Structure 1
Amino acid sequence: MSKTSFNSINKPFASTLRTRVNDYFKTRKLSNTGNRKLYIKSVILVCTAVGLYIALLSLSIPIWLSCLLCAVLGVAFAAIGFNIMHEGGHQSFSKKAWINNISAYTLNMLGGTIYFWKQKHNISHHTYTNVDGLDHDIDVKFMRMHADQPRQWFHRFQFAYWFVLYGISYIAWVLFQDFEKYFSGKMGRQAERKSMPLREHLIFWGTKVGYAAVYFVIPIVAVGWLPALIGWLIVGVSCGFCLAVVFQLAHVVEATQFPVADGESGKIEQEWMVHQLSTTANFATGSRTVSWLLGGLNFQVEHHLFPRISHVHYPAINKLVKATCKEFGVTYLEHRTMGHAFASHLRHIYRLGRG
Structure 2
Amino acid sequence: MATPKFIAPSTSFYAELKSRTSAYFEEIGSQPTGNKNLYIKAAVLLSSLVFLYVHLVFFTPPFWLAIIECILLGGVTAAIGFNIMHDGGHGSFSKRKWVNTLAGLSSNMLGANIHMWTTKHNIIHHTYTNIDGVDDDLDAKPFLRLCENQEHLKIHKYQHFYFWGAYAMLFIYWVFITDYIKYFTQKVGTIPLQKMKRKDHISFWGFKMMHFALFVILPIYTVGFLPWLIGFLIYGMFTGLVMSIVFQLAHTVEHAHFPMPTVATNRIEDEWALHQLKTTANFATKNKIVSWLTGGLNFQIEHHLFPRISHVHYPAISKIIKQACAEFGVTYNEYPKTRTAILSHIAHLKQLALQPVLVQR
Q: What TM-score, normalized to structure 1?
A: 0.98
Map Cα deviations across residues 129-181 of structure 1 (whole Å, 9 max, x no partner): 00011110111131100101111111111112111110010000000001111
Structure 2 counterparts to residues 1-355 of structure 1, below 5 A: 2-141=2-141, 142-188=143-189, 190-192=190-192, 195-355=195-355
Greater shift, 57-66 or 43-52, is seen at 57-66
Letter in 2 for 1:186: K
**Contact 2:145 2:151 (8 Å CA) reproduced:** yes
Coordinate RMSD, CA, aligned: 1.2
Q: Shift of residue 26 of structure 1?
A: 1.0
Equivalent-residue separation in structure 2 for 1:110 and 1:60 (angstroms): 21
Structure 1: runs of 5 or more not aligned: none
Equivalent-residue separation in structure 1 for 2:334 and 2:11 (angstroms): 23
Greater shift, 60-69 or 288-297, is seen at 60-69
Letter in 1 for 2:211: Y
> Are the structure 2 counterparts of residues 110 and 60 from structure 1 closer, same or farther at C-alpha, using a change threshold of 3 Å?
closer
Equivalent-residue separation in structure 2 for 1:192 and 1:211 (angstroms): 26
Greater shift, 59-68 or 317-326, is seen at 59-68
Map Cα deviations across residues 25-70 of structure 1 (whole Å, 9 max, x no partner): 0121110000000000000000001100111122242211110110
Q: Shift of residue 85 of structure 1?
A: 0.2
Letter in 2 for 1:315: P
- Give 3-state SS (helix, strand or coil) of 2:187's partner: coil
- Give 3-state SS (helix, strand or coil) of 1:330's partner: coil
Residue matched to 2:358: none
**Contact 1:113 1:178 (8 Å CA) reproduced:** yes
Equivalent-residue separation in structure 2 for 1:284 and 1:322 (angstroms): 15
> Are the structure 2 counterparts of residues 167 and 254 from structure 1 closer, same or farther at C-alpha, using a change threshold of 3 Å?
same
Q: What TM-score, normalized to structure 2?
A: 0.96
Equivalent-residue separation in structure 2 for 1:302 and 1:243 (angstroms): 19
Equivalent-residue separation in structure 2 for 1:74 and 1:238 (angstroms): 5
Equivalent-residue separation in structure 1 for 2:83 and 2:16 (angstroms): 29
Map Cα deviations across residues 305-342 of structure 1 (whole Å, 9 max, x no partner): 00000000000000000000000100000000000000
Letter in 2 for 1:24: Y
**Contact 2:116 2:193 (8 Å CA) reproduced:** no
Q: Shift of residue 192 of structure 1?
A: 3.3
**Identity of matched residues, %:** 47
Greater shift, 54-63 or 87-96, is seen at 54-63
Equivalent-residue separation in structure 1 for 2:91 and 2:131 (angstroms): 24
Equivalent-residue separation in structure 2 for 1:127 and 1:193 (angstroms): 15
**Contact 2:254 2:344 (8 Å CA) reproduced:** yes
Equivalent-residue separation in structure 2 for 1:193 and 1:74 (angstroms): 28
Equivalent-residue separation in structure 1 for 2:282 and 2:154 (angstroms): 32
Structure 2: runs of 5 or more not aligned: 356-361
Letter in 2 for 1:343: L
Equivalent-residue separation in structure 1 for 2:31 and 2:198 (angstroms): 35
Q: Shift of residue 264 of structure 1?
A: 1.5
Q: Shift of residue 7 of structure 1?
A: 1.2
- Give 3-state SS (helix, strand or coil) of 1:127's partner: coil
**Contact 1:11 1:271 (8 Å CA) reproduced:** no
Count of residues paired in the alignment:
354
**Contact 2:119 2:193 (8 Å CA) reproduced:** no
> Are the structure 2 counterparts of residues 312 and 195 from structure 1 closer, same or farther at C-alpha, using a change threshold of 3 Å?
closer
Q: Shift of residue 193 of structure 1?
A: 6.1
